[in-house]
Amino acid sequence: MEYEQEKGAGTEDKNLQLVAFNLGDEEFGVDIMQVQEIIRMQEVTRIPQAPGFVKGVINIRGKIIGSVENLYDD
């Protein structure tokens, strides 16, 4: 997805490159310069007695990352 910024006073023509993704029926875009990496979905390890909105945790190169329920899931 590319978005061309409008030319304004004192600016050059530039293309803004975005990483696009969907959550539910909505599409979002993030400036590619703000994205460190894109990884495949990891298997989620459940946590006993965690609140219902907590899906569990994933391990990415030794770092434990929490995973919570997507509010857009039906």
Does this model's pTM top 0.75? My answer is no
Label residue 41 by pLDDT band (50, 70, 90). confident
Residues 34 and 44 in one domain: no
Residue with tokens 């909105």: 53
Question: Beta strands 63-68 and 26-31: pairing type?
Answer: unpaired
3-state helix, strand, coil in the chain (%, to 5): 5, 45, 55
Domain residues for the domain of 65 are: 39-74
- pLDDT tens column, 10-24: 556 578 899 999 887
Residue 32 confidence class, pLDDT cut points 50, 70, 90: very high
Number of structural domains the chain divides into: 2
Give me the percent of the chain exceeding a pLDDT of 70: 76
CA distance 57 to 48: 11
Do 32 and 46 reside in the same domain of the chain? no
